[in-house]
Amino acid sequence: MKRVFIIILDGVGVGEMPDAALYGDQGSDTLGNLSRAVGGLKLPQLENLGLGCIRPVAGLDCPEKPQASFGKMAEKSPGKDSTTGHWELGGLVLNKPFPTYPHGFPKNIINAFVHLSGYDVIGNYPASGTEIIKELGEEHIWSKKLIVYTSADSVFQIAAHENVIPVQELYRVCQIARDLLVGEHAVARVIARPFVGETPADFTRTKYRRDFSLKPSGETTLKRCQKNRLSTVGIGKINDLYAYDGITENLHTKSICMISQMMTEHTIEENQCFLFIFTGSV
C-alpha cells in the first residue's frame, strides 16, 4: 500500500452510544436527523460506498453491491469529545474520560489563570459559543475582560473581540491556560474563539479559531507511521487534535472552501499517509 487516505466526518453520528445518558445525548442521531430535516440526502459517492447500508438514512439506498466495506463502530474510550474520538481512531484508547465542568471551572484555576495571563475574566459557565458572545460581548469590549466558558465537552474556551484582544495575544493567553490545565484538570482542549462585530446582533466568530490540545498520552498510528519512515500530512484541525504529535506536514485551513483546492494542489508522494479531516457538527 503506497498511500492511505483517512476521511473523518467529525460530529456525524449514526445513533446513540450505550452511555449516551451520561452526557445528555439520549436519542442522538445526527445523520438521521439531518437527513430528515432536509427532506433526504443526496450523496451518490457515499451511497455507492455503502453509507445507506449501515442504517436507514432518508434519501440514501443500499446498493446491491456496495463498492466498499461498511459498518457501525462503537467507541471504547469513555467520553464524547473530538480529542477522545480522534485519538481512538489513531489507535489510542483512553481508560478514563477527560474532565468536564458543568458548573464552571474551580476558583483556584480561574485565579491562577488571571494571575498568569494578566486579564480578568467573565463568564466561567457552560454555554453556546454564539450565545455567550451575545450575552457578554459588550461587557468584554468595555472591560477588556476575557470571556471564559466551557461546554459538555472537555474544553476551556476563551472568546475575545479581535479589536480588543488581537488574535496573536489571544493565542498567547490560550497557551498559558493550556500549560496551567494539567493533572486532574487536564482538559482535552483549550480553544481560542476570536469574534468581530459592533453590537450583540452582529457579533460573529471568525475563522481564526485555534485549538490547543493535550499531547497524546501514548503512541498513535501517526507516530508509528513516522517511525517506519512514512510521512504524514494533515488537513484542517487534525494537527490541533493530535497536538502536532505524529504529523509531518500540516495544511491548516481557514475555511472549508480551501480544502478542495489543497487536495488538488498538494503533491502526494509514495509511502505517505495523507489525512484529510472535514469537521462539522449538527
Measured CA distances, 260 to 78, 241, 264, 266, 278 (Å): 34, 21, 6, 10, 11
Per residue in 49-103, pLDDT tens? 999 999 889 999 999 999 988 888 888 888 777 888 888 888 889 888 899 999 9
Question: What values do phi and psi take at 4, rounded to 5?
Answer: -125, 125
The pLDDT of residue 9 is above 80: no
Write the Ramachandran bin of 256: left for phi over 0, alpha for psi from -120 to 50, otherwise beta. Answer: alpha
> How far apart (Å, rounded) are the C-alpha atoms in residues 26 and 145?
36
The pLDDT of residue 255 is above 50: yes
pLDDT score, position 82: 80
Q: Are strands 189-196 and 204-205 parallel, antiparallel or unpaired?
A: antiparallel
pLDDT score, position 242: 84
Of the pLDDT bands very low, low, confident and very high (cuts 50, 70, 90), residue 270 is low
> How far apart (Å, rounded) are the C-alpha atoms in residues 153 and 128?
12
Per residue in 142-193, pLDDT tens? 999 999 999 988 999 999 999 999 999 999 999 999 999 999 999 999 999 9
Per the CB < 8 A criterion, the answer to whether 82 and 104 are in contact is no
| Domains contained in the chain, CATH given | 1-10+214-282 (no CATH), 107-213 (3.30.70.1250)
> How far apart (Å, rounded) are the C-alpha atoms in residues 83 and 89?
10
Per the CB < 8 A criterion, the answer to whether 254 and 208 are in contact is yes
Q: Of 44, 61, 43, whose CA–CA distance to 52 is shortest?
A: 61
3-state class (DSSP) for residue 77: coil
Helix 107-117 with 167-180: angle, nearest 10 deg:
130
Please state the pTM of the whole predicted model: 0.75
3-state class (DSSP) for residue 70: coil
> How far apart (Å, rounded) are the C-alpha atoms in residues 50 and 122?
48
